[in-house]
Amino acid sequence: MLLESVWQFHDDDSNAVWAITGDEWSPMFIDTELASPRFNRTGEVWLWIQVAVGTQALLYGDNDEYYQFKLKSGTTNDGTNLTGTIIEHVCTPLYSKTGAGTGDTRLVAARRPMFAAALSGDAFGRYIQLYCDTTGTVGNSDLSVRAGLAPSKSAIPNIEYLQTLVTNVTAPTA
């Protein structure tokens, strides 16, 4: 039996989303030691970010909002966020809401990944967390995301309500 799990930066137990209100760390971090042996630290790992709540207000509001997500890792944490020496692994493009219909349409495409990238799993520190760097008037944002790491491209979720993705594969029977 093959078991594929998706490790998430939002609280999947309560089906919660990460409601972004400014520069902040994701609500959860991933401890690769606890995720082992399923966490493949020597092969490819996929980062995915999916809009959970994005409305047309993001495109047609009267303020400017800019979002950039950064995947970081480190060897220590304070129980909530990474601490100590932190390494940045990947940075997304700058997603913008500039009002008057000129914003990035990926911010309103709920239930589809807005960003996915393959990363080398052997470069990570023990703890991995996603950081959202914002600029502009983000305090009244209605952008919420779900995000996580996947052991393969096929494990990146694109369903409306994310749950830990489990795939059971067995040999066919006669």
| Residues 109-150: tens digit of each pLDDT | 667 778 888 888 778 888 999 999 988 766 566 678 889 988
Residues 53-79, mean pLDDT to the nearest whole number: 76
Q: Which domains does the chain have, with CATH numbers?
A: 7-155 (2.60.120)
pLDDT tens-digit profile of 83-115? 989 999 999 998 887 655 566 777 776 677 788
CA angle 53, 78, 139 (to 5 degrees): 30
